[in-house]
Chains A and B, each alone.
Chain A
Amino acid sequence: MFDLLWLVPAIPFAGALLLATLGSRMPRKAVAAVGVCTIAASAIVSILIAVAFLAAPPPGGAYTQVLWTWIDVGSFNPRIAFYLDALSLVMMVVVTFVSFLIHLYSAEFMEGDEGYSRFFAYMNLFVASMVTLLLADNLLLLYLGWEGVGLCSYLLIGFWYQDPVNGRAARKAFIVTRAGDTAMAIGLFLIYHSLGTLGIQDLMQRAIAQWGVGSSYAIAAAALLLGGAVGKSAQLPLQTWLPDAMAGPTPTSALIHAATMVTAGVYLIARTHVLFELAPPVQLAVAIVGAATLLLAGCSALTQWDIKRVLAYSTISQIGYMFLALGVGAWSAAIFHFMTHAFFKALLFLSAGIIIEALHHEHNIFHMGGLRRQLPVAFWTFLAGGCALAGLPLITAGYYSKDLILWHAWNSPAGSVVLWAAGVVGVVLTSLYTFRVIFLVFFGDVRTPVSKRPGLPIRIPVWILAILSIIGGYAGPPLLTFLKTALPAALESRAGALTETGSSAVTALAFLTGFGLAWLFFLSKPARATAVAANPVGSVLHRFWFADWGFDWLYDHLFVQPVLWIARVNRGDFVDAFYTGLSRLIEWTWRILRLTENGQLRWYAAGIAVGSVVFVAIVSFL
């Protein structure tokens, strides 16, 4: 069964290839069939492999499939090989399954679009790259998938290429993530240089043997990998690309946010967890980045009027939770949250897509309202997803995973009260902005009439995801046990002032606080919200948060403008000025000497005379 592992990335890749080459000549039905079926096949194969894995785990809890040697130079010989253990298995199953649902949804959602086959080609390639990333046995192959998802996000964000705004957002996404990738590439050089391998398992073993805890190599390597991870996962300070990435079609956003791309950073850190354990300062940095990001993004989400931008900031914030978990050594909790997040975030985007389609591409939540009765499908599914996102206690999946993270943030030796408190405040914020959207969109008066109702291929995936967003939390305990074969268990240290139940209660309380605030401000009396936003402090904060804490402005002035300026000024190439100057000099000399050739006999005679006198003088005096 495990022999089929290579099919999981290969089938979507083949689909992408087929659609890219022949897609424009295929009928739409065939395009959809290829696009959806390849991912379905891939999901089925991965589920079969998962079943086989659970039934009879391979020796050592991991299976490696070597396809061929990729590059073979001296001692540098990375392979094209796939590595399957509990971690990559869970990720692979979730990614392929959620992607399949999103593809199914897209088959109807994108039906009227001109670039139907192009869309599915990119989407398939996206999934293929992501699976390659997950299954890679060495960091170089992981880097291939890593760059591949970056590329596909670029292609899909800029899918409607005719609008320059989309092009700008796509370019921004690619360049910002690639800035992170640059750090990661340098990290790969460092790792290969000092450990002599890029094989993930080998390098972790050698790192333990050679580096020791807190060695500067380990710190540098982990910090550089973290650079790549914050780029892809849209964490501080490279989070700016993700809100703009909403320019792409909605299923793309779902794919980027739920299944592929942004979770790659989380996976990378979990995959190379040994390096981070060897570098405690960097692991602390991971936790701080996560905590800071979840707060910052939570605040920004409060101020957005574009429904997709709210969701984008919520993704940044939720990935922040995963980083927090990774930072305190709760590796499995991060993966658990990844799984529940994949369900409810895909769901939220897909139902947001239903709303946007139904309202003539209206993104502004203040123009929506009263959709509870108009679009019940969207309402119930969005509510399910929203509750999971906000962490409705005991019922939803999001609550369990988030609660687990908060408990570890408190309890782990690497955790602290500050991190825990940040997480709790994050829960308040999450619940506040989530219900702000729900109240504004589904309650109140109808502001825009509904024009289009979703068909079956759209309804099936959202219902499945809604169910998973609710029950997914109960999969927690077995999942965590299963992941123990690949990831070390979180350490426990200071029970002290707070018990696990106590922490859960605080989380539940935080949720209720957020919910209550949302009810106060956006449902019972919307005027209150306007009043808060109108007072001086409120309006400054509102503008500041709306503009993502000024990061875009800062980067624009710090990096973008200088590069553009240099490029513009130097368009003509300074170096060429030297050679042009040289040729000018020769030209001027020629112009001056040319004056003597004036065609006047007397002038020439004088020249001869003077020349002879000078010559005779030189000869006789030297």
Chain B
Amino acid sequence: MELIRYGFLLAGILFALGLLGVLVRRNIVFTLMSLEVMLNAAGLAFIVAGARWGQADGQVVFLFILAMAAAEVSVGLALLVRLYHEYKSLDTDGASRMKG
């Protein structure tokens, strides 16, 4: 029981930290890093859950998340490069063009 409680708590804290990072950091590199933290927090929650019920599914999903995160990061970094090329800055707010 302890494992679950602390595991989920850790995952929750990590997720919240990641979210906070996404929300407060304007530099897109840090945004991407924070996103990674959130993904890993979710992955941790899956592993903890898998361990709790003795199922391999949690680990399978984590592997799936890892693969997806890799793909996401590659796309994200490609965008980052293009963004820097375009604006000479990594500020996300500065790149906002969608003004209502």
Contacts and interface: CB of A to CB of B under 8 A. Distances in A.
User: Can you list the 5 inter-chain pairs with the closest CB atoms, starting with the nearest?
Assistant: A599-B98, A597-B100, A599-B96, A594-B100, A606-B23
Contacts of B26: 602
Contact of B97 (A596, A597, A599, A606): A599
A473 to B, nearest CB: 93
A92 to B, nearest CB: 81
A616 to B, nearest CB: 12
Given A605-B19, A605-B22, A605-B23, A599 B100 contact: yes
Contacts of A599: 96-100
Interface of A: 594-602, 605-606, 609
Given A594-B100, A595-B100, A600 B23 contact: no
A428 B22 CA distance: 107
Nearest to A595: B100
A602 B93 contact: yes
A11 to B, nearest CB: 78
Interface string B64-100: 0000000000000000000000000000110011111
Interface of B: 19, 22-24, 26, 31, 92-93, 96-100
B19 A609 contact: yes
Contacts of B24: 602
A595 B99 CA distance: 9
B22 A602 contact: yes
Contacts of B23: 602, 605-606, 609
A596 B23 CA distance: 15
Given A596-B100, A597-B100, A598-B100, 7 more contacts: A599-B96, A600-B92, A601-B31, A601-B92, A601-B96, A609-B19, A609-B23
Given A606-B23, A609-B23, A598 B99 contact: yes
A594 B99 CA distance: 9
A608 to B, nearest CB: 9
A317 to B, nearest CB: 78
Contacts of B31: 601-602
5 contacts: A598-B96, A598-B100, A599-B97, A602-B23, A605-B23
A599 B93 CA distance: 8
Nearest to A590: B100
Contacts of A596: 100
A588 to B, nearest CB: 15
Nearest to B15: A609
A609 B23 CA distance: 10
A606 B23 CA distance: 6
Nearest to B25: A602
Contacts of B98: 597-599
A609 B15 CA distance: 11
Contacts of A598: 96, 98-100
A597 B99 CA distance: 7
Interface centre among A594, A597, A598, A599 (most CB of B within 10 A): A599
A600 B22 contact: no
A595 B93 CA distance: 15
